[in-house]
Structure 1
């Protein structure tokens, strides 16, 4: 081998295989981006759902079969307004029942957010709905003594002040009453008794109201807000004190407690309205005014003759 060939061999660099760049950082970045986008989408979706459930109430129709009823009665139940406003002068509520007529419009308490707060939204609610039927009011635990006079001045009847009201001119009347006046509410064996209350009674009190001679057909209550936040397959995550439930209770429906909607207890029906507002507590911040999975609603309660 000559000198030229030796120099040529020394100058040649061997070809080395190119190292592959690791794809792990890219994959991690993509996974992180996907996770963040998915999380933001979930937060946005939950926010939109909470906005809808809180600010866009619906009218729900509830059918209640009653033995011995001679005709159909319709009651509009409005509960737990807590000072909420649904458009100007409660036009959002008025639109839900536009053109409808009811035998009674039942306000079942908690019309103001906290004691001695502004009553204007509650007054506007009476004004928005009184053309749909006579308005009757019972107080809730958030209502101070000034609420009833303000609503009476707006056109409502304070049912706790008058005791009972008979609606209808035939032999069978729809009688709206309170728990305190229940013992003397019935004038005819054919009367249909409906109790308006705010806090749902205990099972024992319901059975007592259903027993002769009272024979109450239906109790309309509120107070629970349907739990304010409800989860699929779980129901309300919390419920306030009521009946035999003492203190605030977690996941009450999973333990069989009646928190919202219509249910029969022995011979008596009870409907617990989820109401309109998210509820309020003196310790809660002002911004805590949302519902989730428990949409704001008012209810058209249809009492109809039960099929034999």
Structure 2
């Protein structure tokens, strides 16, 4: 007969092993996701788009920096950065250095809340508790608590702009690739209510070859607006893919009002009878105070855009 304490000790050991793996191994197991999206007009050549998101750079994260630098070997046609680059106010130089090889390519960016404000200590179980109580979706309306620490986001912006990347926080822009012109529409972060869709409303630009929508946090109000305006593709981040997932089940939370079935990867969103593709990046970092990932490795995505069949 087993001692009464054998089962609790076994569970404690298993839990410790999971935490050790999540904090010591998986959080540094960087991956590349590859996705094909049929959205381009007839006759257009395929376009290779590298999406990086939720880097959450902390000074001294050398392995993450080297991995980001290595992504330049993919030779993308252009790069989309969907925000939350920082998790340390001193890490702007290292972030720009890590992204330096990618900034040799055309690119565009929007910011997330962690680009503007420093992180605060938090219990990762808070998101799970919110899910159980049915409050996970309130983020679409509830005010967000902001850190008192201001990140030096103008330095980050200036570094991106100096490299020629196009900032589209509540704005529009253009990329020209060998005679193919892409119209960009972006929003500032809905997670902290900085999105101003009325400033960019109107849908795709008729004189562009392709129109792309970009936002950090995939809140439903934003996805509805983009889909209703007939954008063929929306790129977002923010969710961390759930960050702490259950093997063979998936994410429990998204940290916004998006459903967990679409917490990462390619899906679709429909509004007013119009359908857009949605790609949500699981990102490659974590808040510095919750440096763990489980069943959700850090990632970037290489999207290959090809002709639409319709």
TM > 0.5: yes
Residue of structure 1 equivalent to 2:34: 61
Distance 2:158 2:107 in 1: 9
Q: Normalising to structure 2: TM-score of the pair?
A: 0.70
Structure number with the bigger relative contact order (C-alpha 8 A, sep ≥ 6) is 2
What's the CA shift for 1:218? 0.8
Conserved? CA contact 2:45–2:306, under 8 Å:
yes
Distance 2:72 2:85 in 1: 22
Cα distance change of structure 1 residues 185 and 65 upon mapping to structure 2, 3 Å threshold: closer
Residue of structure 2 equivalent to 1:130: 103
Residue of structure 1 equivalent to 2:233: 218
Cα distance change of structure 1 residues 153 and 206 upon mapping to structure 2, 3 Å threshold: closer
Give structure 2 stretches of 5+ with no counterpart.
Answer: 117-150, 188-198
Cα distance change of structure 1 residues 156 and 142 upon mapping to structure 2, 3 Å threshold: farther
Give structure 1 stretches of 5+ with no counterpart.
Answer: 1-26, 244-251, 281-285
Is 1:186 aligned to residue 243 of structure 2?
no
Which of 123, 128, 140 in structure 1 is aligned with 2:112? Answer: 140
Which of 213, 217, 226 in structure 2 is aligned with 1:199? Answer: 217
Conserved? CA contact 1:199–1:242, under 8 Å:
no
Residue of structure 2 equivalent to 1:108: 82
Which of 153, 176, 183 in structure 2 is aligned with 1:175? Answer: 183
What's the RMSD between the two structures over aligned residues? 3.1
Is 1:150 aligned to residue 156 of structure 2?
yes
Cα distance change of structure 1 residues 64 and 234 upon mapping to structure 2, 3 Å threshold: same
SS in 2 for 1:93: helix
Distance 1:42 1:272 in 2: 29
Which of 291, 305, 308 in structure 2 is aligned with 1:306? Answer: 308
What's the CA shift for 1:53? 2.2
Distance 1:231 1:146 in 2: 36
Return the index of the structure with the highest Cα Rg. 1
Q: Normalising to structure 1: TM-score of the pair?
A: 0.71
Distance 1:236 1:195 in 2: 25
Runs of 4+ in 1 over 4 A off after TM superposition: 31-39
Cα distance change of structure 1 residues 68 and 98 upon mapping to structure 2, 3 Å threshold: closer
User: Per-residue CA shift, 1:247-266, capped at 9, x if unaligned?
Assistant: xxxxx52xx5x322111123
Residue of structure 1 equivalent to 2:132: none
Conserved? CA contact 1:80–1:222, under 8 Å:
yes
Distance 2:12 2:182 in 1: 53
Cα distance change of structure 1 residues 297 and 103 upon mapping to structure 2, 3 Å threshold: same
Cα distance change of structure 1 residues 229 and 51 upon mapping to structure 2, 3 Å threshold: same
Tell me how many residue pairs correspond in the alignment: 256
Conserved? CA contact 2:69–2:99, under 8 Å:
no
Is 1:164 aligned to residue 181 of structure 2?
no
Distance 1:225 1:111 in 2: 13
